[in-house]
Structure 1
Amino acid sequence: MKPFCFADGQIIPTEKAIIHPMDLSFIRGYGIFDFFRTVNFQALFLDNYLDRFLASAEKTFLPLEYSRAELKAVIQELIEKNHLKEGGIRMVLSGGISPNHFSPAKGKLFIFAESLIFPAQEKYEKGIKLLSLEYVRPIAEIKTTNYALAVWDSMRWKDADAEDVLYHLNGHVSESSRSNFFIVKDGVISTPDAHILKGITRKHIIELAGDVKIRPISMQEVLNADEAFITSTTKVLLPVTQIDEHKIGNGKPGQVSLGLLDKFKALEKGICY
């Protein structure tokens, strides 16, 4: 965590940021957040992330007293004050202190600046393994702070040499715990259409690919895919070469996946340099 954050309406030393222990974020796990990267001192795709954060606040009935312009000004000041050339910005809106300890209330807005570590290069070169998990995130279209199941389940990932999970229910897949999911079959790219967070990296990968099928995807299709990959802010695009003990395609990152990763890097460079 970087030295300065935004809390209580001002930029303060990060260690001085506080929240009441009866806030719904603590006692009910109710709150929202968003996270984006800075590249060359610029917030990457900032308007897209603010669109989602503002929509999440509205959908979760959490008052947000800052305009888009005010949020942008705070974020830019934090980037400069923390000298955050390459890093991350985390916005958190808590559930608030509720009179009945249950209903959404007026929460606190925090904006933190963070260091960022990308996955090891080896994972891009060899691909990663996901573990299947029967689950659908509640209100998946909103980026809530409720990651309880994934945090609990993550204790088994290391032993299984897995990067993350792939959620599925009733025979259809949705997403990873912190990423969107894609498959490639016969050159056609597909991604799930339901029970997902509409990721910002997902959005730009779809635009770069040009013809992505957004539709229900069965687990059997995943296992028969030529390629698979996940996308997220912090991973960008990671090839998936194994689900449980099943090899995807030839067990190596595919040309479609790697080509899209190169296109995304070129897009990022064109925006921020």
Structure 2
Amino acid sequence: MKPFCFADGNIIDSSKAQIHPMDLGLIRGYGIFDFFRSVNYTPLFLEHYLDRFIGSAEKTFLPLSYSREELKQIIKELTDKNDMEQGGFRMLLTGGISENHFSPAEGKLFIFPESLIFPSEEKYNKGIKLLSLNYIRPIADIKTTNYALSVWDSMRWKKEGAEDVLYHHNGYVSESSRSNFFIVKNGTVITPDKDILLGITRKHVLQLVDKVEIRPVTLAESLEADEAFITSTTKVLLPVTQIDQHTIGNGKPGPVSMDILKKFRILEKEMSL
């Protein structure tokens, strides 16, 4: 975490940010957040992240007492104050202190600038392993703070040498715990169309692809894919070379995945100039 954050309507020392112990964000795990990266002092795809954050507040009935322009100004001030050439910003809106300890109330807005830890180069070169998990994330189209199952299950991933999970239900896959999921078959990029967070990185990856299908994707066809990968703000694009005990394709990152990653890196540079 960087030295300065936004809390209680002001930019303050990050170590002094506080939340009431009866906030729904703490006692019920109810709140929303979003996370974006800054490159060369420029927040990447900021308008898209603000669209999602503002929309999530509306959908979860959480009052957001700051306009888009006010949020952008706060982010600019935090960038300058923390000398944020590179890093991440975490926007968090809590569920608030509710009279009945259950219904959404007026919560607190926090914006925390953070240092980033990216996956190792080895993971991009060799690919990663996912473990399948029968689960659909609650209100999946909203980036809520409810990560209880995946945090608990992450101890299993470590034991089995996996990077993350692949959620599936009734034979269909949806997403990873913190990433969108794609497969490649015969040169076509295919990604699930429902029970997912509409990722910002996902959105821009799809714009870089010529042959794409957005539709239901079965777990069975995922295991038979030529290539697979996940995308997220902090991972960008990570090749998936194993799901459970099944090797994907030839067990190496595929040419379609690596070409998309290359194009996205070029897009990042153009956006940060």
Please state if 1:69 is matched with 2:90. Answer: no
Which AA in structure 1 matches 2:59? K
Segment drifting more, 77-86 vs 59-68: 77-86
Deviations 1:13-42 (A, max 9, x none): 001100100000011100000000000001
Equivalent position of 2:147 in the other structure: 147
Q: Distance in 2 between matches of 1:257 and 1:83?
A: 33
Instruction: List aligned pairs for 1:1-273, cutoff 5 A.
Output: 1-273=1-273
TM-score (norm 1): 0.99
Please provide the CA RMSD for this pair.
Answer: 0.5
TM-score (norm 2): 0.99
Deviation at residue 210 of structure 1 after TM alignment: 3.2
Corresponding residue SS for 1:195: coil
Q: Distance in 2 between matches of 1:102 and 1:158?
A: 34
Which AA in structure 2 matches 1:63? P
Q: Distance in 1 between matches of 2:38 and 2:117?
A: 12
Q: Distance in 1 between matches of 2:148 and 2:211?
A: 35
CA contact (8 A) 2:94 2:108 kept: yes
Corresponding residue SS for 2:22: coil
Deviations 1:238-260 (A, max 9, x none): 00000011000000000000000
Gaps of 5+ in 2: none
| Number of equivalences | 273
Q: Distance in 1 between matches of 2:210 and 2:79?
A: 33
Identity fraction in percent: 72
Q: Distance in 1 between matches of 2:210 and 2:236?
A: 18
Q: Distance in 2 between matches of 1:34 and 1:259?
A: 27
Deviation at residue 7 of structure 1 after TM alignment: 0.3
Q: Distance in 1 between matches of 2:21 and 2:223?
A: 45
Q: Distance in 2 between matches of 1:253 and 1:260?
A: 12
Deviations 1:81-113 (A, max 9, x none): 111111000000000000000000000000000
Deviation at residue 47 of structure 1 after TM alignment: 0.1
Q: Distance in 2 between matches of 1:67 and 1:269?
A: 28
